[in-house]
A and B are shown apart, each in its own frame.
Chain A
Amino acid sequence: MQERVKAKAIELLESGVCDRVLGWKAGEFFYDVTPAVFTSREEIEKEFVFGPFCGANMSKYLIAESRKEGKKVGAFLKPCDTYSFQQLQKEHRIWRENVYAVGVQCEGMCDIEALKAAGIKGILGAEGSGDTLTVHTLYGDKSVERKAVLAERCACCKSKKLLGCDEIVGEQGEELESARFEQVAKLEAMTPDERFAFWRGELSRCIRCNACRNVCPACSCEKCVFDNPNSGIENKAASNSFEENLFHIIRAFHVAGRCTDCGECSRVCPQHIPLHLLNRKFIKDINELYGEYQAGADMDTRPPLMNFQMDDPEPSVVHERGSDQ
């Protein structure tokens, strides 16, 4: 797959369709891949990679890239990325005409932490496509099943469908039956005290580095309310538990109905806070209360929070659905 993607990147540049392509650049190790803009065949041949650690969602970069002068920007997008890509177009953030979008078939991305959790230390590299990965480490080679080290978001992938692309490398995928709400349901089944304890445990680790916000394609505000001294809720650090809650509640609320569940927030969190469980709670509620809705799946439906039905459930449904009484 990597070779096909690279070949396509070179083709886009050399055919003159694009003057730059957005892809993944190799790092020091196998897993520390960086999103990058490539402008020449040499760069692509030397540094372009596409493999099990190209988790970064490329769509957000297109907000800025699509506004630049010049030819189109070529963009390689995984299925997840294409949902965000469409959602951002819906919100008029990406100028579609300046993008040549290439969908890339995705087998699921691996999680370096999962490798480490499997007891593999000092990782120098990994090889192999398909079901088994061979990992080179400071302490010798180890082999693992790909499934065992998939990122959580990929283990319960919602869709392998590539949306709204100009071209596809590999095969078009399908929407999948996903168990992605299982964890949310588990939390819902807990008592409020247990839930409170769970989230306190998680959110108390937050260091307000803003990685979740800055990586999020839905969080693309010109100026975030948390950075704006005039918003009344600006804060640079979470001074206490309230501010930790405030940031994450408001952030989740602002992306509710717009979040495509790409899972980048949880991927980048240095403290491994399961932030996707907040977003998925909103998605699950929206699905249950207002009908199934997948942000970014299409270009014309109204986002659920900018829509209503006369017979929507009353807010007291929250009390009635309670599981603890």
Chain B
Amino acid sequence: MQKIGVFVCWCGSNIAATVDVQAVSDALAKEPGVVFSTNYQYMCSQAGQDMIQEKIREFGLTGVVVCSCSPRMHETTFRKTCEKAGLNPYMVEIANIREQCSWIHKDKETGTEKAIILGRAAIAKVQLNAPLTAGQSPVVKRALVIGGGIAGIQTALDIADAGFPVDIVETKPTIGGKMTQIDKTFPTLDCAACILTPKMVDAAQNENINILSYSEVEAVKGFVGNFSVTIRRKARFVDETKCTGCGLCTEKCPQKKVPNEFNLGLDNRRAIYIPFAQAVPKVATIDPNYCTMLKTGKCGVCSKVCTAGAIDYQQKDELIEREYGAIVAATGFNPISMDKFDEFAYSQSPDVVTSLEFERLMNAAGPTGGTLLRPSDGTHPHTLVFVQCVGSRCDGGEKGKPYCSKICCMYTAKHAMLTREKYPDTDVYVFYIDVRTPGKNFDEFYRRAVEEYGVHYIKGMVGKVVPENGKLKVQASDLLGGQQLHIDADMVVLAAAIEPDKSARPLATMLTASMDTNDFFTEAHPKLRPVESPTAGVFLSGACQGPKDIPETVAQAGAAASKVIGLLVKDHLTCNPCVASSNEMMCNGCSACEKVCPYGAITYIDKDFRGPNRTTLRRRVAQVNPAVCQGCGACTVACPSGAMDLKGFSNAQIMAEVDAICK
């Protein structure tokens, strides 16, 4: 029989306001096996933890039930508390009387009654708990960063600096990501390329960093410390080791009509290309969708001009498999498609552009050489209208996104300011719902745009944009002025919402990392573990976790790196001891468990058993590798004889909880 101590937490008033904690601890004191029961204001505080330890020693407790917040919050805390007092940490059960009781029920009687039942269930379970000892598994001391934008680069650099090898997998021919396309950065207006490209070079030159550009993650197996990842290295038809990046081929290639994705299709590139001058690796790539040689077998110009002999039309996709201890997702974002926003005439007029396109039009390395010209006729625009929140903060979510894209207010202010600075003869209007500037020097920046640069900020939404005689007729409402506005604009710039990259969803499935409804990766805890995925060994860096600007991204990238380093410095990881185990006496050896095990943790041996009348019986029995088993329990249900059970969540324990709840 266990000697159980029950500790009911008030959580200040979080629990105590809707649950009579005294009644709960009194009721639970009467349960069989309970030798001590109390309540306290903050059980997770030092004083609370000290009390638990004291009572473990005083009463010789063999089991502890804490009625408090979710076990997802403090189960580990209380396990450690008990361990320090000499109790096996797995002799602790948490009754969740906050998130699943006090917070959802307003009536104190109901809440108290439910809390008692939840406490009883935890007591019933702990009665059947057995001390568990965690095993260990080795850690592969290499990290994988998926995505080579500023987030991925920073994470990789920080991990590499700590001395661990790290691979960056980037789906594009070069690393750099969205930041390479940006002209200036708010609120300091320093040049994006000037601060990014040195980092790209650092990454390329760091001997701990291995850049796998033009590559994609194909499959992920394993678990924290021991991931095995299959990476597809897409054929670029250029031998990376030979190409010097001289760029001659990209000048001679006869196929000139390829939309240049780097400039968002605002100009063209060749079929063989280097995305931009500072690309890393600076290696040419042949676009198989346009290359005449690859499509028809006739041409071969690039091969002829390449003195390094790097062109290889026979190159095939290559699958490589590597082991990693940790994986960082840094898959970034994209502006949403403007297809559903016809009211802004995006598809009808080339002079309606997105903000990212506007970046390219303002960029010295862009299609216009940095001079702002209308895409339709190459003339200088005089009236510009910026529309904010295009697709952000949309209710219903059919057309756009329910969330705030966070960066648009600031970059729009930047665009407006830069336009006015370079071209003082322009009229710049910004239509906004709210201007959100919470950040260091952000509001000052916005005020400068209004006050110093004379940008017209108008609260209201643009209702319609109609191209007419080379002008864009903008109809809008001025909510503060209470009037309808009609502006004849030369250009309209749409601050398109951002969304996670499309590759994130399949990647999340491979990583078994969870995502929210908008396909942003979910963090393990929104406040306390913001750079970790709930899936152990998977970390989050940058905008794949939620919209953020460059400094935030870099900060998170560093944080993710530090978490990875914290993992990789360990030689061994403590395994989850709540794993499956098979009772050999009952095992049929039928392989049902093996078939449903996602980790291949189950093997079989033939073993001799003592049979009746001094005979020996040889039977095939299952064996679970506790280092590989992750404790999902699929096998326990597949097993018809019940030989397979799960430690910490045994059949008997779950049924005891059921009994206690239904009583």
The answer on a CB contact under 8 Å between B638 and A305 is yes
Q: Which residues of chain B come closer than 8 Å to A305, judged between CB atoms?
A: 638
B592 within 8 A of A: yes
Known: A221-B641, A222-B585, A222-B587. A230 touches B652 (CB 8 A): yes
Q: Which residues of chain B come closer than 8 Å to A306, judged between CB atoms?
A: 592, 595-596, 638
Most buried by B among A223, A302, A303: A223
Q: Which residues of chain A come closer than 8 Å to B535, judged between CB atoms?
A: none
A225 within 8 A of B: yes
A41 within 8 A of B: no
B632 within 8 A of A: no
Q: Which residues of chain B come closer than 8 Å to A303, judged between CB atoms?
A: 592, 595
Complex CA–CA separation, A73 to B578 (angstroms): 44
Known: A67-B618, A91-B590. A254 touches B640 (CB 8 A): yes
Q: Which residues of chain B come closer than 8 Å to A230, judged between CB atoms?
A: 652
B41 within 8 A of A: no
The answer on a CB contact under 8 Å between B595 and A228 is no
Q: Which residues of chain B come closer than 8 Å to A91, judged between CB atoms?
A: 588-592
B562 within 8 A of A: no
Known: A222-B641, A223-B641. A232 touches B586 (CB 8 A): no
Known: A225-B641, A305-B638. A67 touches B617 (CB 8 A): yes
Q: Which residues of chain A come closer than 8 Å to B638, judged between CB atoms?
A: 305-306
B369 within 8 A of A: no
Task: For A219, give the chain B residue with the smallest CB separation.
Answer: B640
Complex CA–CA separation, A160 to B441 (angstroms): 84
Q: Which residues of chain A come closer than 8 Å to B604, judged between CB atoms?
A: 92
Complex CA–CA separation, A302 to B590 (angstroms): 12
Known: A220-B588, A306-B595. A231 touches B642 (CB 8 A): yes
Partner pick for A221 among B588, B617, B619, CB 8 A cutoff: B588
Task: For B595, give the chain A residue with the smallest CB separation.
Answer: A306
Task: For A310, give the chain B residue with the smallest CB separation.
Answer: B509
A280 within 8 A of B: no
- Report the minimal beta-carbon distance from A259 to chain B, rounded to whole angstroms: 12
Complex CA–CA separation, A22 to B638 (angstroms): 32
Query: What per-residue 1/0 map shows which CB atoms of A203-244 lie under 8 Å from chain B?
Result: 000000000000000001111110010111000000000000
A93 within 8 A of B: yes
The answer on a CB contact under 8 Å between A92 and B587 is no
Partner pick for B588 among A93, A232, A255, A307, CB 8 A cutoff: A93
Query: What per-residue 1/0 map shows which CB atoms of B637-651 lie under 8 Å from chain A?
Result: 010111100000001
- Report the minimal beta-carbon distance from B89 to chain A, rounded to whole angstroms: 25
B548 within 8 A of A: no
The answer on a CB contact under 8 Å between B585 and A92 is no
Chain B interface, number of residues (Cβ within 8 angstroms): 23
Q: Which residues of chain B come closer than 8 Å to A231, judged between CB atoms?
A: 642, 651
Of residues 273 through 325 on chain A, the ones whose CB sits less than 8 Å from some CB of chain B are 302-303, 305-307
Q: Which residues of chain A come closer than 8 Å to B595, judged between CB atoms?
A: 302-303, 306-307
Complex CA–CA separation, A305 to B634 (angstroms): 11
The answer on a CB contact under 8 Å between A223 and B586 is yes
Most buried by A among B585, B586, B604, B651: B586
Of residues 351 through 375 on chain B, the ones whose CB sits less than 8 Å from some CB of chain A are none
Task: For B659, give the chain A residue with the smallest CB separation.
Answer: A232
Most buried by B among A67, A91, A222, A228: A222
B620 within 8 A of A: yes
The answer on a CB contact under 8 Å between B642 and A222 is no
Partner pick for B642 among A93, A225, A302, CB 8 A cutoff: A225
The answer on a CB contact under 8 Å between A92 and B590 is yes
Tell me how many residue pairs across A and B have CB atoms closer than 8 Å. 55
Partner pick for B651 among A222, A232, A255, A307, CB 8 A cutoff: A232
Q: Which residues of chain A come closer than 8 Å to B655, judged between CB atoms?
A: 232
Complex CA–CA separation, A67 to B585 (angstroms): 17
Could you say which interface size class chain A belongs to?
A: 20 to 34
Q: Which residues of chain B come closer than 8 Å to A224, judged between CB atoms?
A: 641
Q: Which residues of chain A come closer than 8 Å to B641, judged between CB atoms?
A: 221-225, 228
Query: What per-residue 1/0 map shows which CB atoms of B580-603 lie under 8 Å from chain A?
Result: 000001111111100110000000
Q: Which residues of chain B come closer than 8 Å to A93, judged between CB atoms?
A: 588-590
Complex CA–CA separation, A1 to B588 (angstroms): 36
- Report the minimal beta-carbon distance from B437 to chain A, rounded to whole angstroms: 45
Q: Which residues of chain B come closer than 8 Å to A254, judged between CB atoms?
A: 640
Complex CA–CA separation, A222 to B588 (angstroms): 6
Most buried by B among A254, A255, A305, A306: A306
Of residues 165 through 207 on chain B, the ones whose CB sits less than 8 Å from some CB of chain A are none
Task: For B637, give the chain A residue with the smallest CB separation.
Answer: A305
Most buried by A among B641, B643, B651: B641
Of residues 604 through 636 on chain B, the ones whose CB sits less than 8 Å from some CB of chain A are 604, 617-620
The answer on a CB contact under 8 Å between A92 and B591 is yes
- Report the minimal beta-carbon distance from A144 to chain B, rounded to whole angstroms: 41
Partner pick for B586 among A67, A220, A221, A255, CB 8 A cutoff: A221
Complex CA–CA separation, A182 to B618 (angstroms): 43
- Report the minimal beta-carbon distance from A30 to chain B, rounded to whole angstroms: 36
Complex CA–CA separation, A91 to B591 (angstroms): 6
Q: Which residues of chain B come closer than 8 Å to A307, judged between CB atoms?
A: 595
Of residues 437 through 483 on chain B, the ones whose CB sits less than 8 Å from some CB of chain A are none
Partner pick for B640 among A67, A92, A221, CB 8 A cutoff: A221
Task: For A220, give the chain B residue with the smallest CB separation.
Answer: B588
Task: For B593, give the chain A residue with the smallest CB separation.
Answer: A306
- Report the minimal beta-carbon distance from A196 to chain B, rounded to whole angstroms: 22
Q: Which residues of chain A come closer than 8 Å to B617, judged between CB atoms?
A: 67
Complex CA–CA separation, A254 to B590 (angstroms): 13
Q: Which residues of chain A come closer than 8 Å to B588, judged between CB atoms?
A: 91, 93, 220-222
- Report the minimal beta-carbon distance from A278 to chain B, rounded to whole angstroms: 15
Complex CA–CA separation, A306 to B602 (angstroms): 14
Known: A67-B617, A221-B640, A221-B641. A228 touches B592 (CB 8 A): no
The answer on a CB contact under 8 Å between A228 and B586 is yes
Q: Which residues of chain B come closer than 8 Å to A221, judged between CB atoms?
A: 586, 588, 640-641
Q: Which residues of chain A come closer than 8 Å to B620, judged between CB atoms?
A: 92
- Report the minimal beta-carbon distance from B202 to chain A, rounded to whole angstroms: 42
Q: Which residues of chain A come closer than 8 Å to B592, judged between CB atoms?
A: 91, 303, 306
Complex CA–CA separation, A93 to B651 (angstroms): 25
Task: For B597, give the chain A residue with the smallest CB separation.
Answer: A306
- Report the minimal beta-carbon distance from A251 to chain B, rounded to whole angstroms: 9
Known: A223-B641, A232-B651, A306-B595. A92 touches B586 (CB 8 A): no
- Report the minimal beta-carbon distance from B370 to chain A, rounded to whole angstroms: 49
Complex CA–CA separation, A93 to B592 (angstroms): 12
Complex CA–CA separation, A231 to B586 (angstroms): 11
Q: Which residues of chain A come closer than 8 Å to B619, judged between CB atoms?
A: 222
Q: Which residues of chain B come closer than 8 Å to A67, judged between CB atoms?
A: 617-618
Task: For A308, give the chain B residue with the smallest CB separation.
Answer: B596
Complex CA–CA separation, A200 to B618 (angstroms): 43
Instruction: Show 5 A/B contacts (Cβ-Cβ < 8 Å), sorted by A.
Output: A92-B590, A222-B619, A223-B641, A223-B643, A255-B640
Further pairs besides A306-B595, A306-B638: 13, Cβ < 8 Å: A91-B592, A221-B588, A221-B641, A222-B586, A223-B585, A223-B641, A223-B643, A225-B640, A228-B642, A231-B642, A254-B640, A302-B595, A303-B595
* B contacts, CB < 8 Å to A: 585-592, 595-596, 604, 617-620, 638, 640-643, 651-652, 655
* A contacts, CB < 8 Å to B: 67, 91-93, 220-225, 228, 230-232, 254-255, 302-303, 305-307
Q: Closest 9 interchain pairs by CB?
A: A221-B641, A91-B590, A306-B595, A254-B640, A223-B586, A232-B655, A225-B642, A231-B642, A92-B589
